[in-house]
């Protein structure tokens, strides 16, 4: 069995070494144009040239949870596209979202500003019943985030394409229940996959529905930059419709230095680090899946190309 590795923005050496150790029966090599035809590929944002050069791939394993960049390519129709599920990412996502949520709810950013002025201040505590959290996307990451948030006794709503039942969450599904989900949520956490159906879903109309249509909604975007209509956000913040936003992903990354998000007082920007790929856990997961595929066993994380995730 031959495995080829094609990573953008990641040094391949440690991945190749780890895959060789995990799959000693395989030939694992970094891809170069004209390399021998491989059975499986381990990829991050490969160029179309790579795909065209490897038409007989049976498995294409993405080293991230989101496959939107990969699905933009023209892929061999028979190849199974597989995303990471969890592999150490869900705990990071739960951390990121809980930190942003608690920071906003408890107003720790304002207390820190007071502290810079040596000011011992008192702010009336807010009621957590008023801060229902809505999680969009209830895959492995979304479910973990929702459960972490529920532990802090916030009301939690979940929204997914197909109906789900998850303990402790009020679950909404599909377009028909989307507006009700938004209205019932004050803090919106986006963990959707980026597909044609979800592109631009964080727009003025939808964001205005948060919190029963009242001011005070808050956005945490850890999905993809293209979920958000960036031009809609600042007017919603400046009019007070939204209270703030924590954003980890952007239409253009790195976020250009002149972008107004950097310095807007109600926006917290982080550089797409909410949940990084953990190499060892990812190698173990991908090696296990490759072995399962070779044995004809079912695996998790197979992407539905039509669906887009």
User: Which residues are marked as active site?
Assistant: 224, 272
Pairing outcome for strands 242-247 and 267-269: parallel
Q: Does 130 bind a second copy (CB under 8 A)?
A: no
Q: Residue 58 Cβ, how far from a second copy at the closest point, in Å?
A: 32
Scanning 31-39, 47-55, 67-75, 267-275 for contacts with a second copy by CB under 8 A, the matching segment is: 267-275
For residue 206 the two structure tokens come to 């939808």
Q: Does 95 bind a second copy (CB under 8 A)?
A: yes
Nearer to a second copy, 114 or 177 (CB): 114
Contacts 24+ apart (CB under 8 A), 49-53: 50/6, 51/75, 51/76
Q: Residue 116 Cβ, how far from a second copy at the closest point, in Å?
A: 8
Task: Tell me the CA distances in angstroms from 198 to 21, 191, 194, 201, one per residue in order.
Answer: 39, 11, 6, 5
Give the interface size with a second copy as a residue count (CB under 8 A).
Answer: 42
- Dist CA 266 CA 19 (whole Å): 43
| 241: region left, alpha or beta (phi > 0 left; psi from -120 to 50 alpha) | alpha
Position among 31, 61, 96, 218 found at the interface with a second copy (CB under 8 A):
96
Nearer to a second copy, 93 or 192 (CB): 93
Q: Does 8 bind a second copy (CB under 8 A)?
A: no
Can you give the three-state secondary structure of 216-234, one letter per residue?
CEEEEECCCHHHECHHHHH
φ, ψ dihedrals at 168, nearest 5°: 85, -10
Q: Within 13 A of 85's CA, how many CA atoms are on the CB side?
A: 16
Position among 17, 52, 112, 238 found at the interface with a second copy (CB under 8 A):
112
Q: Does 257 bind a second copy (CB under 8 A)?
A: yes
Nearer to a second copy, 9 or 175 (CB): 9
Q: Residue 302 Cβ, how far from a second copy at the closest point, in Å?
A: 27
Nearer to a second copy, 104 or 289 (CB): 104
Position among 163, 213, 235, 271 found at the interface with a second copy (CB under 8 A):
271
For residue 52 the two structure tokens come to 């065209």
Task: Tell me the CA distances in angstroms from 109 to 96, 103, 266, 267, one per residue in order.
Answer: 15, 6, 10, 11
- Dist CA 254 CA 250 (whole Å): 8
At residue 159's C-alpha, the angle toward residues 158 and 161, to 5°, is 145
Scanning 67-75, 109-117, 189-197, 288-296 for contacts with a second copy by CB under 8 A, the matching segment is: 109-117
Position among 11, 263, 297, 298 found at the interface with a second copy (CB under 8 A):
263
Position among 24, 116, 129, 298 found at the interface with a second copy (CB under 8 A):
116
Nearer to a second copy, 120 or 175 (CB): 120
Scanning 71-79, 144-152, 199-207, 301-309 for contacts with a second copy by CB under 8 A, the matching segment is: 144-152
- Dist CA 175 CA 161 (whole Å): 8
Q: Does 126 bind a second copy (CB under 8 A)?
A: no
Burial code (b: 16+ CB inside 10 Å, e: under 16) for 59-96 equals bbbbbbbbbbbbbebebeeebbbbbbbbbbbbebbbeb
Footprint of a second copy on this chain (CB under 8 A)?
91, 94-96, 98-99, 102-103, 105-106, 108, 111-112, 114-116, 118-123, 125, 128, 148, 151-153, 253-255, 257-259, 262-263, 268-271, 273, 276
């Amino acid at each position: 069995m031959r495995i080829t590795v094609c990573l953008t923005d990641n040094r391949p050496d440690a991945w190749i070494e780890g895959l060789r150790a995990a799959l000693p029966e395989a030939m694992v090599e970094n891809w170069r144009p004209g390399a021998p035809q491989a059975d499986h590929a381990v990829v991050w944002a490969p160029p179309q040239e790579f795909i065209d050069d490897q038409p007989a791939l049976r498995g294409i394993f993405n080293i991230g949870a989101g496959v939107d960049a990969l699905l933009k390519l023209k892929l061999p129709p028979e190849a199974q596209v597989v995303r990471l599920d969890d592999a150490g990412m869900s705990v990071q996502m739960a951390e990121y979202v809980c930190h942003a949520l608690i920071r906003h709810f408890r107003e720790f950013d304002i207390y820190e500003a007071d502290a810079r002025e040596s000011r011992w201040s008192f702010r009336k505590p807010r009621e957590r019943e008023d801060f229902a959290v809505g999680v969009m996307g209830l895959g492995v990451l979304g479910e973990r985030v929702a459960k972490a948030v529920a532990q802090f006794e916030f009301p939690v709503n979940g929204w997914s394409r197909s109906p789900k039942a998850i303990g402790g969450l009020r679950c909404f599904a599909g377009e028909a229940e989307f507006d009700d989900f938004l209205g019932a949520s004050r803090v919106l956490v986006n963990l959707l996959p980026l597909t044609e159906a979800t592109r631009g879903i964080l727009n003025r109309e939808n964001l205005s529905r948060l919190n029963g249509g009242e001011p005070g909604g808050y956005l945490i975007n850890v999905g993809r930059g293209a979920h958000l209509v960036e031009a809609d956000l600042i007017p919603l913040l400046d009019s007070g419709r939204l209270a703030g936003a924590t954003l980890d992903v952007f239409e253009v990354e790195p976020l250009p230095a002149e972008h107004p998000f950097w310095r807007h007082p109600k926006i917290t920007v982080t550089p797409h680090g909410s949940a990084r790929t953990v190499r060892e856990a990812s190698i173990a997961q991908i090696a296990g899946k490759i072995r399962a595929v070779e044995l004809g066993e079912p695996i998790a994380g197979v992407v539905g190309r039509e669906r887009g995730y």
